[in-house]
Amino acid sequence: MANEKVDVVIVGAGASGSVYASVLAKAGKKVVVLDNGPDWQLTDLISSEFWGRRLKPAGAPIVLEGKHPFGYTSQAGWGVGGAALHYFANFPRFLPTDYKIKSEHNRAHDWPISYDDVAPFYDKVAAEIGVSGDAKQEEKWRPAGKPYPMPPMKTFPNGQVWLEGAKANGIQLVPAAVGMTSQDWKGRPACIYDGWCHQGCPTGALANPVVTYLQDARKAKAEVRPFSTVTRVLTNQAGTRVTGVEYYDDRRQKQVQEASVVILAAWSAQNPRLLLNSATDKHPKGLANKNELVGKFMMTHHIAGTWALFDQDITPHMGTIGAQFMSYDRYAKTSYPNAFGSTFIVAGAAMKTTDYANARGDLFGPELTSFMKRAARGLTRITCFGEGLPRLENRVELASDKDEFGMPLAKLVHSFDDDAVALWNANFEQGIKVAKATGAKEIWPGKGPVMPTTHLHGGAIMGTSAANSVTNSYGQTHEIPNLWMAGPCIFPSEGASNPTYTIFAVSQRGAENLAANWKTIASKS
């Protein structure tokens, strides 16, 4: 079934898709957003560890391979709002070094833009959706940019106990920059520090798309169609333009949505899958894939969490799920001998009872019961996010198994290199040193046989030409001018900072460029 042609069809209603929807709808474009999951409302965001799992992936599974498979199921999203409906809302910026890793270290790729190109959009996003933090305290690391529009969040003992231990090890912890309200702001109430962020924040204190960009987009007449699973991007006969998408609606009926511009914002693992599955005789390797770079250079952060257990009540349940404090003091990519890559440090996340149990996965029976009681009073954690470099062999490709619509599943192959493993180990050593200096009664590394992963990037990276990338710095594909990519898939390197703030900023930059050059980009359709 064909639908009336629109200006823009956006695939995915998460962080990046919602920004594009907002900017373009407010620019007067007729926008349709397709998402494969439910249209979550704030009233669906129930404060429960059980019920929060409804926001997690439920569509076609991803086949995971490689030495260090990417553990996507706890962090990806399903439905309108995407992963940003349950994200931690840590909002650190990438630093200038992240954009110039090739120039400075002869490793990985430079971004085709610099920090200065993105900085105004960090500021714009902060003003748009609200960020709380203390720019003054970040001065030693943070380059140019406006102060945050809100003061930092409250802190609690479960975060404060890390300050002296970190300082003793040359690490300055400062109030974390977060996409949350430390005070009533733009009609959204101040956060009340109950720690239910990861189950979805129904108060609006956390800047998820439903209360920010998507709300703005809907006000500007953008249409969101839930339970709409896109399977192919369609092209004209010559293969020079995309003409829309094919998708299955909530009744499992095949539909076609024609559009002047197609934006794929379905996350790093799904965007390449769609491009590869849209192969035609003119694009036999898949769209925008003449040089076989689609699905390549997948990257993920690794996590080194160190636990500390105190005798006194440090209110482990209070605060937000993200962090109370952060530090860039190990962000220099050569911070540790024999390792390479940035490390971003956070401390003092609010925890729920499953977090207590997971802190000692080896315990069971009466020992677990005893530990749970102590953890409920005195457990806390410091976490180091470490950078993984883009590797050609880390990739998304089409699997032989298919989903219910006959579309091949995505297969994600991922292995860390020796530098990343060394950095992960160094971060544990660092975490233990800090924890020892806190005076905690017990400390231990959260280290198991599996190297934990978080934040998937790459798959359609940006660059200077089709020879080295899939898109330009705005997300426009080199090969098809009205086909755009959005989200972390276009990151050519990943730094170590939580990525969503940069996703918002880069999407804002891309969307404004698309709107400003609309006639050139869309008029040939």
Partner 1 sequence: MADIERRAFVKGATLGALAFTVGGSTVMLTARQARAGNVPFRMLKENEAETIESIGETLVPGARSAGIAHFIDQQISVPPEQALLQARILNVKPPFANFYRAAVRAIDGSSDKTFARKFSMLSPGDKRDFINLMRQNKAEGWQGPAGPFVYGVLRSDAVDVVYSTMDGYEALGVPYMAHIAPERRW
> 20 or 72: whose CB is closer to partner 1?
72
Does 252 contact partner 1 by CB under 8 A?
Answer: no
Residues 396-435, one symbol each (x = binds partner 1 by CB under 8 A, - = not), give ----------------------------------------
250 binds partner 1 (CB under 8 A): no
Q: How far is the CB of 433 from partner 1 (least distance, A)?
A: 29
DSSP track, 119-154: HHHHHHHHHHH--B--TTTTTTT--S-PPPSBPPPP
Kindly state whether residue 58 participates in binding partner 1, applying the rule CB under 8 A. yes
Pairing of strands 63-65, 174-175: unpaired
The residues facing 150 across adjacent strands are 132
Q: How far is the CB of 252 from partner 1 (least distance, A)?
A: 14
Say whether residue 334 binds partner 1 (CB under 8 A).
Answer: no
User: Of the listed pieces 53-61, 102-110, 152-160, 169-177, which binds partner 1 according to CB under 8 A?
Assistant: 53-61
| Positions in 179-198 near partner 1 (CB under 8 A) | 189, 192, 194-196
Output 315 or 464, the one with its CB closest to partner 1.
315
> Contacts from 513-521 at CB under 8 Å and sequence distance 24+?
513/474, 513/476, 514/20, 514/23, 514/24, 514/261, 514/474, 514/476, 514/484, 515/23, 515/24, 515/27, 515/29, 518/27, 518/29, 521/261, 521/476, 521/481, 521/482
- Tell whether the torsion through CA atoms of 503, 506, 509 and 514 is positive or negative: negative
Among 252, 373, 441, 524, binds partner 1 (CB under 8 A): 373
Cβ proximity to partner 1: between 200 and 495 the closer is 200
- DSSP H or E run through 508: helix 500-516
Distance separating alpha carbons of residues 473 and 465, to the nearest angstrom: 10
Taking the complex as a whole, the smallest distance from the CB of residue 54 to partner 1 amounts, in Å, to 7
Name the segment binding partner 1 (CB under 8 A); options: 117-125, 158-166, 174-182, 364-372: 364-372
The neighbour count for residue 225, using CB atoms within 10 Å, is 19
Rounded distance, CA 489 to CA 298, Å?
8
Shortest reach from residue 443's CB to partner 1, in Å? 22
* Residue 386 to residue 421: CA distance in whole angstroms: 9
Task: Give the integer Cα–Cα distance in Å for 191 and 203.
Answer: 8
Task: Tell me how far apart the alpha carbons of residues 430 and 436 are, in angstroms, rounded to a whole number.
Answer: 10
Residue 392 in contact with partner 1, rule: CB under 8 A: no
**Among residues 121, 297, 325, 356, which is the contact residue for partner 1, using CB under 8 A?**
356
Cα–Cα distance measured from residue 294 to residue 524, given in angstroms and rounded to the nearest whole number: 25
Q: Shortest CA distance to 488 belongs to which of 465, 505, 468? A: 505
| Binding region for partner 1 (CB under 8 A) out of 48-56, 335-343, 467-475, 479-487 | 48-56
Dist CA 32 CA 213 (whole Å) = 14
Specify the residue, 50 or 140, whose C-beta has the smaller distance to partner 1. Answer: 50
73 belongs to the binding site for partner 1 (CB under 8 A): yes
Give least dist CB 372 to partner 1, A: 6
Strand residue runs (E) in 226-342: 229-235, 242-248, 254-264, 299-309, 325-327
Query: Mutual orientation of helices 115-129 and 500-516 as an angle, nearest 10°?
Result: 100
Q: Residue 154: count other Cβ atoms within 10 Å of its Cβ.
A: 17
Contact string 291-330 vs partner 1 (x = CB under 8 A): --------------------------x-------------
Contacting partner 1 (CB under 8 A), which of 114, 240, 312, 354?
Answer: 354
**Closer by beta carbon to partner 1, 167 or else 373:** 373
Judged by CB under 8 A, the residue of 14, 133, 175, 202 near partner 1 is 202
Q: Which is nearer to partner 1, 44 or 223 (CB)?
A: 44
SS3 label, residue 434: helix
Q: Cα–Cα–Cα angle for 302, 178, 299, nearest 5°? A: 25
Number of residues interacting with partner 1: please give it, by CB under 8 A. Answer: 48
- Which of helix, strand or coil describes residue 33? strand
Stretch that binds partner 1, among 6-14, 258-266, 350-358, 414-422 (CB under 8 A): 350-358
Which stretch in 262-270, 279-287, 366-374, 512-520 sits in contact with partner 1 by CB under 8 A? 366-374
For position 142 contacting partner 1 by CB under 8 A, the verdict is no
Q: Which stretches of the chain bind partner 1, using CB under 8 A?
A: 43-51, 53-54, 56-59, 61, 64, 71-74, 78, 189, 192, 194-196, 201-203, 317, 352-354, 356-357, 361-362, 364-366, 368-369, 372-373, 376-377, 449
